[in-house]
Amino acid sequence: MIRNVNTQIIADAVKEMCIDTNYYLSEDMREAMRKSADGEKSELGRKILGQLLDNLKIAGEEMIPICQDTGMAVIFLEIGQDIHLEGMAVEEAVNEGVRAGYRDGYLRKSVVGDPLLRDNTKDNTPAVVHYSIVPGNKITITMAPKGFGSENMSRIFMLKPADGVDGVKDAVLTAVRDAGPNACPPMVIGVGIGGTFEKCAILAKKALARPVNERSEFSHIRQLEEELLESVNRLGIGPGGLGGTTTALAVNINTYPTHIAGLPVAVNICCHVNRHMIREL
Protein backbone atom coordinates (compact mmCIF):
# COMPACT_ATOMS: atom_id res chain seq x y z
CA MET A 1 0.00 0.00 0.00
CA ILE A 2 1.42 3.39 -1.05
CA ARG A 3 2.02 5.75 1.85
CA ASN A 4 2.34 9.50 1.32
CA VAL A 5 5.05 11.09 3.44
CA ASN A 6 5.98 14.76 3.69
CA THR A 7 9.74 15.06 3.95
CA GLN A 8 9.37 17.58 6.78
CA ILE A 9 9.13 14.59 9.14
CA ILE A 10 12.62 13.58 8.00
CA ALA A 11 13.91 17.08 8.79
CA ASP A 12 12.26 17.04 12.22
CA ALA A 13 13.62 13.59 13.08
CA VAL A 14 17.16 14.44 11.93
CA LYS A 15 17.13 17.61 14.04
CA GLU A 16 16.20 15.68 17.18
CA MET A 17 18.68 12.91 16.44
CA CYS A 18 21.56 15.37 15.95
CA ILE A 19 20.94 16.75 19.42
CA ASP A 20 20.26 13.46 21.18
CA THR A 21 23.27 11.61 19.77
CA ASN A 22 25.58 14.42 20.83
CA TYR A 23 24.18 14.78 24.36
CA TYR A 24 23.53 11.15 25.31
CA LEU A 25 25.63 8.08 24.61
CA SER A 26 23.57 5.06 23.50
CA GLU A 27 22.86 2.45 26.15
CA ASP A 28 24.92 -0.25 24.40
CA MET A 29 27.97 2.02 24.53
CA ARG A 30 27.33 2.96 28.16
CA GLU A 31 27.12 -0.69 29.15
CA ALA A 32 30.32 -1.50 27.23
CA MET A 33 32.10 1.35 29.00
CA ARG A 34 30.91 0.15 32.40
CA LYS A 35 32.05 -3.41 31.69
CA SER A 36 35.43 -2.23 30.47
CA ALA A 37 35.92 -0.14 33.63
CA ASP A 38 35.20 -3.22 35.76
CA GLY A 39 37.49 -5.44 33.72
CA GLU A 40 40.43 -3.09 33.04
CA LYS A 41 43.60 -4.44 34.70
CA SER A 42 45.59 -1.20 34.69
CA GLU A 43 44.99 1.11 37.64
CA LEU A 44 45.54 4.16 35.44
CA GLY A 45 43.28 2.66 32.78
CA ARG A 46 40.49 2.16 35.34
CA LYS A 47 40.89 5.76 36.48
CA ILE A 48 40.62 7.09 32.92
CA LEU A 49 37.57 4.97 32.19
CA GLY A 50 36.00 6.23 35.39
CA GLN A 51 36.62 9.81 34.29
CA LEU A 52 35.05 9.09 30.90
CA LEU A 53 31.97 7.67 32.60
CA ASP A 54 31.81 10.76 34.83
CA ASN A 55 31.94 12.91 31.70
CA LEU A 56 28.97 11.05 30.22
CA LYS A 57 26.98 11.56 33.42
CA ILE A 58 27.77 15.29 33.58
CA ALA A 59 26.97 15.78 29.88
CA GLY A 60 23.53 14.24 30.28
CA GLU A 61 22.72 16.15 33.44
CA GLU A 62 24.01 19.51 32.22
CA MET A 63 22.83 19.11 28.60
CA ILE A 64 26.24 19.60 27.06
CA PRO A 65 27.88 17.53 24.31
CA ILE A 66 29.63 14.34 25.34
CA CYS A 67 32.56 15.44 23.14
CA GLN A 68 33.59 18.89 21.94
CA ASP A 69 33.94 17.50 18.41
CA THR A 70 30.25 17.09 17.57
CA GLY A 71 31.22 15.59 14.26
CA MET A 72 30.15 15.64 10.66
CA ALA A 73 26.63 14.25 10.35
CA VAL A 74 26.63 10.84 8.65
CA ILE A 75 23.19 9.45 7.87
CA PHE A 76 22.01 6.14 6.47
CA LEU A 77 18.55 6.61 5.01
CA GLU A 78 16.49 3.52 4.15
CA ILE A 79 13.32 4.43 2.25
CA GLY A 80 10.56 1.93 1.58
CA GLN A 81 9.71 1.51 -2.09
CA ASP A 82 6.00 1.89 -1.28
CA ILE A 83 6.44 5.46 -0.06
CA HIS A 84 5.55 8.56 -2.07
CA LEU A 85 7.62 11.47 -0.81
CA GLU A 86 6.14 14.97 -0.88
CA GLY A 87 7.51 18.40 -0.01
CA MET A 88 11.12 19.48 -0.15
CA ALA A 89 13.78 17.22 -1.69
CA VAL A 90 14.97 14.44 0.61
CA GLU A 91 18.55 15.69 0.84
CA GLU A 92 17.30 19.21 1.45
CA ALA A 93 15.19 17.85 4.33
CA VAL A 94 18.16 16.02 5.82
CA ASN A 95 20.34 19.11 5.67
CA GLU A 96 17.56 21.27 7.11
CA GLY A 97 17.41 18.87 10.04
CA VAL A 98 21.17 19.00 10.54
CA ARG A 99 21.16 22.79 10.29
CA ALA A 100 18.41 23.14 12.89
CA GLY A 101 19.85 20.49 15.20
CA TYR A 102 23.32 21.97 15.34
CA ARG A 103 21.88 25.48 15.76
CA ASP A 104 19.31 24.72 18.44
CA GLY A 105 21.52 22.20 20.20
CA TYR A 106 24.42 24.68 20.37
CA LEU A 107 26.66 22.09 18.76
CA ARG A 108 30.02 22.92 17.22
CA LYS A 109 29.89 23.58 13.49
CA SER A 110 32.84 21.74 11.98
CA VAL A 111 32.11 21.47 8.26
CA VAL A 112 33.99 23.46 5.61
CA GLY A 113 32.35 23.99 2.23
CA ASP A 114 35.45 23.34 0.13
CA PRO A 115 38.15 20.90 1.26
CA LEU A 116 40.92 23.21 0.02
CA LEU A 117 39.56 26.73 0.56
CA ARG A 118 38.39 25.74 4.09
CA ASP A 119 35.56 28.24 4.61
CA ASN A 120 33.23 27.04 7.38
CA THR A 121 29.61 26.57 6.28
CA LYS A 122 28.59 27.77 9.78
CA ASP A 123 25.69 25.29 10.12
CA ASN A 124 27.45 21.89 9.88
CA THR A 125 25.91 21.12 6.51
CA PRO A 126 26.06 19.34 4.21
CA ALA A 127 25.58 15.94 5.81
CA VAL A 128 26.98 12.76 4.28
CA VAL A 129 23.94 10.72 3.26
CA HIS A 130 23.83 7.10 2.14
CA TYR A 131 20.55 5.99 0.54
CA SER A 132 18.92 2.59 0.25
CA ILE A 133 15.57 1.72 -1.33
CA VAL A 134 14.08 -1.18 0.61
CA PRO A 135 10.79 -3.13 0.62
CA GLY A 136 7.84 -1.70 2.56
CA ASN A 137 6.45 1.71 3.39
CA LYS A 138 8.64 2.90 6.26
CA ILE A 139 11.66 5.17 6.55
CA THR A 140 14.58 4.18 8.77
CA ILE A 141 17.14 6.83 9.71
CA THR A 142 20.50 5.88 11.20
CA MET A 143 22.35 8.89 12.57
CA ALA A 144 26.08 8.66 13.29
CA PRO A 145 27.90 11.98 13.84
CA LYS A 146 31.59 11.32 13.17
CA GLY A 147 34.42 13.19 14.84
CA PHE A 148 37.64 13.44 12.92
CA GLY A 149 40.21 12.60 15.57
CA SER A 150 39.31 8.98 14.94
CA GLU A 151 38.12 9.40 11.34
CA ASN A 152 41.61 10.55 10.36
CA MET A 153 43.02 7.27 11.67
CA SER A 154 40.91 5.11 9.34
CA ARG A 155 42.41 3.09 6.49
CA ILE A 156 41.61 1.15 3.32
CA PHE A 157 43.70 -1.85 2.27
CA MET A 158 43.35 -3.39 -1.19
CA LEU A 159 44.53 -6.89 -0.34
CA LYS A 160 45.10 -9.81 -2.66
CA PRO A 161 42.80 -12.84 -2.31
CA ALA A 162 45.83 -14.91 -1.28
CA ASP A 163 46.24 -12.67 1.79
CA GLY A 164 43.12 -14.31 3.21
CA VAL A 165 41.97 -14.06 6.82
CA ASP A 166 45.49 -13.48 8.10
CA GLY A 167 45.83 -10.51 5.78
CA VAL A 168 42.56 -9.07 7.08
CA LYS A 169 43.72 -9.48 10.68
CA ASP A 170 47.05 -7.84 9.91
CA ALA A 171 45.32 -4.92 8.18
CA VAL A 172 43.06 -4.23 11.17
CA LEU A 173 45.90 -4.50 13.69
CA THR A 174 48.11 -2.27 11.54
CA ALA A 175 45.42 0.43 11.41
CA VAL A 176 44.86 0.31 15.17
CA ARG A 177 48.55 0.19 16.00
CA ASP A 178 49.21 3.20 13.76
CA ALA A 179 46.29 5.08 15.30
CA GLY A 180 47.62 4.60 18.82
CA PRO A 181 46.28 7.28 21.20
CA ASN A 182 45.10 9.56 18.36
CA ALA A 183 41.72 7.83 18.05
CA CYS A 184 40.81 8.54 21.72
CA PRO A 185 40.64 4.93 22.93
CA PRO A 186 38.86 2.87 24.01
CA MET A 187 37.68 2.73 20.44
CA VAL A 188 35.08 0.91 18.40
CA ILE A 189 36.42 -0.56 15.18
CA GLY A 190 34.19 -0.86 12.14
CA VAL A 191 35.53 -3.19 9.45
CA GLY A 192 34.22 -3.61 5.91
CA ILE A 193 35.38 -6.60 3.88
CA GLY A 194 34.53 -7.10 0.21
CA GLY A 195 32.80 -5.13 -2.49
CA THR A 196 34.96 -2.49 -4.13
CA PHE A 197 37.20 0.34 -2.94
CA GLU A 198 34.27 2.58 -1.97
CA LYS A 199 31.86 -0.19 -0.91
CA CYS A 200 34.12 -1.59 1.79
CA ALA A 201 34.46 1.91 3.29
CA ILE A 202 30.67 2.30 3.51
CA LEU A 203 30.42 -1.18 5.04
CA ALA A 204 32.93 -0.19 7.72
CA LYS A 205 31.11 3.06 8.43
CA LYS A 206 27.79 1.28 8.83
CA ALA A 207 29.41 -1.33 11.07
CA LEU A 208 30.11 1.42 13.59
CA ALA A 209 26.37 2.11 13.86
CA ARG A 210 25.63 -1.48 14.90
CA PRO A 211 25.13 -1.88 18.67
CA VAL A 212 28.42 -3.02 20.19
CA ASN A 213 26.69 -5.90 21.98
CA GLU A 214 25.50 -7.44 18.70
CA ARG A 215 27.78 -9.80 16.83
CA SER A 216 27.65 -10.79 13.17
CA GLU A 217 24.97 -13.23 12.07
CA PHE A 218 27.62 -15.29 10.26
CA SER A 219 29.56 -17.67 12.51
CA HIS A 220 32.94 -17.26 10.78
CA ILE A 221 32.66 -13.46 10.89
CA ARG A 222 31.48 -13.55 14.51
CA GLN A 223 34.58 -15.60 15.36
CA LEU A 224 36.78 -13.11 13.51
CA GLU A 225 35.21 -10.19 15.43
CA GLU A 226 35.99 -11.90 18.73
CA GLU A 227 39.54 -12.85 17.74
CA LEU A 228 40.31 -9.35 16.52
CA LEU A 229 38.96 -7.73 19.68
CA GLU A 230 41.23 -9.93 21.78
CA SER A 231 44.23 -9.15 19.56
CA VAL A 232 43.55 -5.41 19.59
CA ASN A 233 43.28 -5.36 23.38
CA ARG A 234 46.60 -7.20 23.64
CA LEU A 235 48.30 -4.26 21.89
CA GLY A 236 48.38 -2.46 25.24
CA ILE A 237 47.40 0.98 23.91
CA GLY A 238 44.73 1.21 26.59
CA PRO A 239 42.31 3.93 27.68
CA GLY A 240 43.49 7.36 26.57
CA GLY A 241 46.50 5.69 24.95
CA LEU A 242 48.20 5.46 28.34
CA GLY A 243 48.38 1.69 28.56
CA GLY A 244 45.99 -1.01 29.69
CA THR A 245 43.89 -3.94 28.55
CA THR A 246 40.99 -1.97 27.05
CA THR A 247 42.06 -0.55 23.71
CA ALA A 248 38.75 -1.36 21.99
CA LEU A 249 35.21 -2.00 23.15
CA ALA A 250 34.14 -3.88 20.03
CA VAL A 251 35.12 -4.91 16.52
CA ASN A 252 32.10 -4.89 14.19
CA ILE A 253 32.53 -6.46 10.75
CA ASN A 254 30.28 -6.15 7.69
CA THR A 255 30.95 -8.11 4.50
CA TYR A 256 29.83 -8.01 0.87
CA PRO A 257 30.55 -10.14 -2.22
CA THR A 258 33.64 -9.08 -4.14
CA HIS A 259 35.60 -9.72 -7.34
CA ILE A 260 37.67 -12.87 -7.83
CA ALA A 261 40.83 -10.72 -8.02
CA GLY A 262 40.34 -8.63 -4.91
CA LEU A 263 39.96 -8.51 -1.13
CA PRO A 264 39.18 -4.89 -0.15
CA VAL A 265 39.32 -4.14 3.58
CA ALA A 266 38.35 -0.85 5.23
CA VAL A 267 38.99 -0.03 8.87
CA ASN A 268 36.87 2.85 10.18
CA ILE A 269 37.87 3.69 13.74
CA CYS A 270 35.67 5.57 16.19
CA CYS A 271 36.49 6.91 19.62
CA HIS A 272 34.77 6.00 22.90
CA VAL A 273 31.82 8.30 22.08
CA ASN A 274 30.79 6.12 19.16
CA ARG A 275 27.53 7.99 18.55
CA HIS A 276 24.70 6.21 16.80
CA MET A 277 20.91 6.18 16.84
CA ILE A 278 18.21 4.55 14.74
CA ARG A 279 14.69 5.87 14.26
CA GLU A 280 11.84 4.48 12.19
CA LEU A 281 9.22 6.78 10.68
Q: What three-state secondary structure class fits 176? A: helix
Among 110, 143, 176, the domain-final residue is 143
* 212 and 156 within one domain: yes
Task: Give CA separation, 138 vs 88, 93, 112, 134, 281, in Å.
Answer: 18, 16, 33, 9, 6
Domain range holding 178?
A: 148-274
State the Cα–Cα distance between residues 154 and 117, nearest whole angstrom.
23
Residue 93 lies in a domain: yes
Number of structural domains in the chain: 2
* 212 and 225 within one domain: yes
Peptide bond just before 126 cis, omega within 30 deg: yes
* 199 and 183 within one domain: yes
pTM: 0.95
Task: Give tens-digit pLDDT for 101-122.
Answer: 999 999 999 999 999 999 999 9
* 152 and 224 within one domain: yes
* 173 and 120 within one domain: no
State the Cα–Cα distance between residues 75 and 61, nearest whole angstrom.
26
Task: Give tens-digit pLDDT for 134-190.
Answer: 999 999 999 999 999 999 999 999 999 999 999 999 999 999 999 999 999 999 999
* 99 and 153 within one domain: no
* 175 and 78 within one domain: no
